C-alpha cells in the first residue's frame, strides 16, 4: 500500500478530529448512529478481527466497575454506546465478526510479539494494533522502552504479521497523548489523589501536584518519547504491505474529562472508547491515503 506524505498525514489527522467534534466527539451521551454505514474498502470482508494491544483495547475501567470490560473495547466491544470496529463491521455487513482479543493488561510491544501466535492461529482479515502506552509509562524515565528497542520490536511485529498473515490488514493507531491526560486532570484534587496513590505511569503521573521545573522536565521527557514512538509507528507501517495508520489522529485527539474514566483518571471512559473507535474507523475509511 502507498502512504501519504507527512503534510498530508497532518491534514488527515486534523480532518479526523474535526469530524469527531462535529459528529461523534461532542455526543458523549449517546450511541453513534450506525444506520446506513458501509464497510471500508480496506475491511470489506472481515470474518475474524484480532486485537493486539494493552488495557485500552481490553476496556479496563471503562465501565462502571474496576477491571476489564471487553464489551467497551474500541476495537472488539459489543456495547452499542461505543460503536466499536467490530460493531461497525457487523452493522455494515450484517455479519458479526469473530473477535480474538490478544491484548494484555499492562502489555507492551514485546508482550504483543509473544502473543502473536494466538492471533496467527485465528487467521484474521483485520488486526488492530494499539501499543506504546506501556512502553512510555514506567516507574522512572530510565525504565521506559528505548526508541531503538521499540522500533526493532514493532518492525518485527509488523513483519511477522505480514509474513504469516499476508492477506490481513493491519490497523495501527498512534499512542495517545498521555501528557494531555495530566494537563486536563492535574487541577482536579480527586484525580491527583488517585494518581499519587497509583503505581501506574509514575514517570508521568507521579507527584501529580508537583509543578516544579524538574517535574515538568520529567513529564516532557515522557511526552517526547511518545512522539518518537509515534514516528516509529508511521515508519514501520509505511514499510509493511497492508498496513494502515491513523496519521497521528489518536495522539492529536484532545480527550476531555468526560472521556476519561472516573475510576482511575487514566483509562478511557465509554465516551473515550467511542472517540477511539471513531478515529480508528475513519483511518480504515481513508485507507492508506
Asked if the structure places residue 40 within a domain, the reply is: yes
What pLDDT score does 30 carry? 74
Asked if the structure places residue 86 within a domain, the reply is: yes
What pLDDT score does 29 carry? 52
Q: Which three cell numbers stand for residue 3?
A: 502512504
Asked if the structure places residue 200 within a domain, the reply is: yes
Closest CA to 52 of 99, 89, 3, 2: 99
Domain range for 134 is 6-286
Q: What are phi and psi of 101, to 5 degrees?
A: -95, 100
Q: What are phi and psi of 55, to 5 degrees?
A: -65, -25
Render each residue's pLDDT in the chain as its tens digit; 289 residues: 333 333 333 444 444 434 433 333 333 457 899 988 999 999 999 999 999 999 999 999 999 888 999 999 999 999 999 999 999 999 999 999 999 999 999 999 999 999 999 999 999 999 999 999 999 999 999 999 999 999 999 999 999 999 999 999 999 999 999 999 999 999 999 999 999 999 989 999 999 999 999 999 999 999 999 999 999 999 999 999 999 999 999 999 999 999 999 999 899 999 999 999 999 999 999 984 4
Asked if the structure places residue 1 within a domain, the reply is: no
Determine the longest span between alpha carbons in the chain, in angstroms.
55
- Total domains in the chain come to 1
The CATH number for 187's domain is 3.40.50.1110
Asked if the structure places residue 223 within a domain, the reply is: yes
What pLDDT score does 22 carry? 35
Q: Tens digits of per-residue pLDDT, 205-223?
A: 999 999 999 999 999 999 9
- With 0-12 / 13-18 / 19 or more C-beta atoms within 10 angstroms meaning exposed / middle / buried, residue 80 is middle
Whole-number Å distance between alpha carbons of 212 and 215:
5
What pLDDT score does 26 carry? 37
What pLDDT score does 31 carry? 85
What pLDDT score does 229 carry? 98
Residues 6+ positions from 158 with CB-CB distance below 8 Å: 170, 172, 236, 237, 239, 240, 243
Asked if the structure places residue 117 within a domain, the reply is: yes
pTM: predicted TM-score of the whole model, two decimal places: 0.88
Asked if the structure places residue 153 within a domain, the reply is: yes
Q: Which three cell numbers stand for residue 279?
A: 478515529
Amino acid at each position: 500500500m502507498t502512504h501519504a506524505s507527512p503534510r498530508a498525514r497532518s491534514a488527515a489527522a486534523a480532518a479526523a478530529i474535526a469530524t469527531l467534534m462535529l459528529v461523534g466527539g461532542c455526543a458523549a451521551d449517546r450511541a453513534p448512529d450506525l444506520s446506513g454505514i458501509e464497510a471500508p474498502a480496506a475491511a470489506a470482508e472481515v470474518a475474524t478481527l484480532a486485537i493486539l494491544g494493552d488495557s485500552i483495547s481490553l476496556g479496563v475501567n471503562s465501565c462502571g466497575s474496576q477491571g476489564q470490560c471487553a464489551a467497551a473495547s474500541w476495537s472488539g466491544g459489543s456495547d452499542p454506546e461505543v460503536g466499536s470496529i467490530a460493531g461497525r463491521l457487523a452493522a455494515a455487513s450484517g455479519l458479526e465478526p469473530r473477535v480474538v482479543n490478544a491484548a494484555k493488561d499492562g502489555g507492551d510491544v514485546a508482550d504483543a510479539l509473544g502473543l502473536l501466535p494466538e492471533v496467527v492461529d485465528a487467521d484474521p482479515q483485520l488486526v488492530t494494533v494499539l501499543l506504546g502506552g506501556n512502553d512510555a509509562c514506567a516507574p522512572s524515565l530510565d525504565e521506559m522502552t528505548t526508541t531503538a528497542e521499540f522500533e526493532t520490536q514493532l518492525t518485527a511485529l509488523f513483519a511477522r504479521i505480514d509474513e504469516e498473515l499476508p492477506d490481513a490488514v493491519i490497523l495501527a493507531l498512534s499512542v495517545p497523548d498521555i501528557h494531555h491526560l495530566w494537563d486536563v486532570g492535574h487541577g482536579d484534587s480527586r484525580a491527583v489523589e488517585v494518581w499519587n496513590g497509583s503505581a501506574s505511569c509514575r514517570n508521568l503521573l507521579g507527584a501529580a501536584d508537583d509543578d516544579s521545573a524538574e517535574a515538568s522536565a520529567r513529564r516532557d521527557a515522557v511526552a517526547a518519547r511518545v512522539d518518537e514512538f509515534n514516528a516509529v509507528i508511521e515508519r514501520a507501517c509505511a514499510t509493511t504491505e497492508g498496513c494502515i495508520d491513523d496519521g497521528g489522529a489518536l495522539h492529536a485527539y484532545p480527550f476531555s474529562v468526560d472521556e476519561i474514566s472516573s475510576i482511575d483518571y487514566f483509562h478511557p471512559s465509554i465516551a473515550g472508547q467511542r472517540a477511539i473507535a471513531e478515529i480508528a474507523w475513519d483511518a480504515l475509511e481513508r485507507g492508506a491515503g
